[in-house]
Amino acid sequence: MRRNILKGFAGKALAKTIENRFKKVDYKLLTEPFFLRSEDDRAWRGEFWGKVIRPAITCAFLTGAPGLRALIDDSVADMMKTQTSDGSISTYPDDQKLTAWDIWGRKYAVLGLIRYYELLNPDPAVLGCCCRAVDYLISLIGPGKMDILECGNHNGLPASSILGAVVSLWKLTGNSKYREFAQYIIERGCSGLGNIYECCDLGIAPAVLGNGKAYEMTSCFQGLAELAMLEENPDWCRIVAKYGKAVLEHEIFITGTGGAKDKMGEFWFDSALRQTRGDCGSLGETCVTVTWMRYCLRLLQLTDDMTFADAIERALYNALLGAWGPDGSHWVHANPTPLTGGGYKKYADDQILRAVGKAFGGNDCCRAQGPEGLVVAAEFAVLEAGNCVTVNLFEALDSGALHITGNYPFEPQAKISFDDPEDKVLRLRTPAFLRSVKFNGISVEFTPGVYLELSHKGGAADTVELEFDFTLKEIPSPDGKFTAVMRGPLVLAEDSRGKVADSGVSVQWRGRELCEYATAGNLICEENTLTVWFRNEQ
């Protein structure tokens, strides 16, 4: 991974998250359930450590934030101490192992340890801990043993989502038993209601795959995409891309996320078509947003289809940053509902207290997961493969010999400076609202939606000047009854306060004062409402 340091809208959010979230987390509380093995209420305390530690690790890798690395080192050491002699890492008592959310929690523990090993500390003991944890599961699950589809909730989706962690271990160790276990999970199809991979390939819509649980299902497709990154398999590439395109068509709101049906916004529900309604549950769980962004990044790397890059930017600057609390310490669980007016942002509460009546430090899945979306953005901003350096985000950043200045996405100009000592191909994302490109002062033709390739000679000091078209664009709703407004990558909204003092955009449209959706409603209270979809005049 390149060390991309974001310095603009997303970068400032990430910096506040490091100071006001990662440095203040009670990491001892998050590992305690693994020591006690007392989670006998079918809850999911086991997911929080892995969800919190992963983006903290990435931030330590990217920024070297003072004090953060020591917190992570201590917490990883604690987690490794929870492993029992049989290899198990779990929060569940032995008589309830592999039920409810047990494998889900084990997955996140392993994913956290793997990221620590890959980015901060390639200690063989850390990798060995991960291997023993998955070996324990392999000893219990598989042909002639327990069926993974019968391990826990949602017909096997959460348990099967461990596929990605298994693939990572195969990548890191080359041990065939992990490849074989991955193949077993794929062949079981991740859901007792039907093989989601085969059904997707047949054209079945996301809401009808499995039970439609968006976050867990996308995690299962993520695992297959991770394997497709390592093995050339046209069938897998086709299937994961079809799923991505289907989600874009059927599920993603104007704000770049999806999810509806229940009170937390956690299911695929043909929600793109229902996003202007108020009777379809809450809209857009933040965990869905983050998982969707990570999935789109893998699809972009697999297919080079800029559609998925545009999807990441849309989600980042709207749904994700719209769920971020202004000081970085809290996140909202679902987007304001309805988006047609009267909806407001509400911080996620103590999820375990709400669900089973036992407080757990104010932790919520989306509060834990939200920062991962910010580090996905940092990873996505500038990608490197072979001799190609690809710029996907245009906010101010530093990335080795590449620097971007400007105030994107609020101002319509950005400047790239690139003085790499080696010959490179500099590739630029060309969104539909990109107006012009100048390379070393000379205008360059480009095709929107196709990466623009520029030749960089080693040692040269190249500059790229970008101009974006930020005129307002009206977007009709799927039902034709409402209109939304976009300005470049930003969805605009009307805040109940009128003009919002700390917004990056303030424009008039049809007599309304609009600002960026990410900032609208940022008092985070019931009185501070916002509107994204405006009813058309009859």
The helix/strand/coil state of 327 is coil
pTM over 0.85: yes
Summarised one tens digit per residue, pLDDT across range 276-313 is 999 999 999 999 999 999 999 999 999 999 999 999 99
Q: Name the phi and psi angles at 97, rounded to 5.
A: -60, 145
Q: Amino acid identity of 454?
A: L
Cβ–Cβ < 8 Å for 328, 309: no
Q: Which of 60, 54, 61 is nearest to 30 (CA)?
A: 54
Structure tokens at 252: 């993603």
Q: For the chain, what is the total number of helices (H) and then of strands (E)?
A: 18, 21
Residue closest to 16 by CA, chosen among 316, 329, 320: 329
d(Cα 103, Cα 480) in Å, to the nearest integer? Answer: 44
Could you tell me if 58 and 379 are in contact, meaning their C-beta atoms sit under 8 angstroms apart?
yes
DSSP state, residue 252: -
Q: Tell me how crowded residue 70 is: count the other CB atoms within 10 A of its CB.
A: 10
Give 108-139 pLDDT, tens digit per residue: 999 999 999 999 999 999 999 999 999 999 99
**Span 226-263, pLDDT tens digits:** 999 999 999 999 999 999 999 999 999 999 999 999 99
Determine the 3-state secondary structure of 174 from DSSP: coil
Q: Name the pLDDT band for 538 (thresholds 50, 70, 90).
A: low
Q: Residue 388 corresponds to which amino acid?
A: C
465, 438 contact by CB (below 8 A): yes
**Per-residue pLDDT reduced to its tens digit, 452-488:** 999 999 999 999 999 999 999 999 999 999 999 999 9
What is the residue type of 173?
T
Query: What pLDDT, on a 0 to 100 scale, did the predictor assign at position 212?
Result: 97
